[in-house]
């Protein structure tokens, strides 16, 4: 079976209800965009999920990190095993997403939309083990929190997903 077409998505208790909704809505957007992609939800703590295959765990904290240019970092996707390749073992396809709630709330935009854009974007990194970005106007561009409306998954974003498979 092809890698990375079915994921266990673990929602940590640190996520607010609003953030959990962003995870479910954002992952559903990816399911609609990518035929055959499915998520299975699980509510449990991120610590200790270890090397579970095809697993993404999402948690939130109140840290307020800045990047080298002084911009707020809204989230980080942490790969447990480096990049996914077709020859990797299934256990390589796991990672954690750390969302920084305090920074996301600091944009002066509706929180549900910011959370949705950030989570959907990070899922793109998580499912490709790719931290690079593509051109503006796509979900996987560098600065997705530039306007208060929910972003859409474009054909370039779909190419980004398939590029790891
Ligand atoms: Zn990014």
Q: What is the DSSP string of 28-73?
A: HHHHHHSTT-EEEEEES-STT-TT-TTEEEEEEE----B-TTSPBP
Q: What is the mean pLDDT of residues 85-111?
A: 83
First to last CA, the chain: 11
Query: 40 C-alpha to center of ligand 1: Å?
Result: 23
Asked if the model's pLDDT at residue 82 lies above 70, the reply is no
pTM: 0.92
Q: What is the mean pLDDT of residues 97-126?
A: 94
Query: 72 C-alpha to center of ligand 1: Å?
Result: 12
Q: Does domain 6-162 have CATH number 1.10.3470?
A: no
Query: 104 C-alpha to center of ligand 1: Å?
Result: 14
Going from the C-alpha of 23 to that of each of 60, 67, 99, the distances in angstroms are: 12, 24, 11
């Amino acid at each position: 079976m092809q890698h990375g077409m079915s994921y266990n998505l673990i929602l940590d208790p640190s996520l607010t209800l609003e953030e959990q909704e962003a995870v479910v809505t954002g992952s559903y957007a990816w399911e609609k965009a990518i035929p055959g992609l499915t998520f299975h939800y699980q509510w449990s703590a991120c610590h200790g999920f270890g090397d579970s295959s095809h697993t993404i765990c999402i948690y939130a904290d109140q840290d307020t990190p800045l990047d080298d240019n002084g911009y707020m970092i809204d989230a980080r996707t942490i790969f447990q095993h480096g990049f996914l390749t077709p020859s990797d073992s299934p256990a390589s396809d796991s990672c954690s997403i750390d969302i920084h709630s305090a920074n996301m709330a600091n944009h002066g935009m509706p929180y549900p939309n910011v959370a949705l854009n950030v989570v959907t974007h990070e899922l793109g990194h998580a499912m490709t083990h790719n931290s690079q970005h593509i051109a503006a106007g796509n979900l996987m561009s560098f600065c997705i929190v530039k306007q208060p409306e929910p972003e859409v998954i474009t054909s370039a974003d779909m190419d980004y997903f398939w590029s790891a498979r």
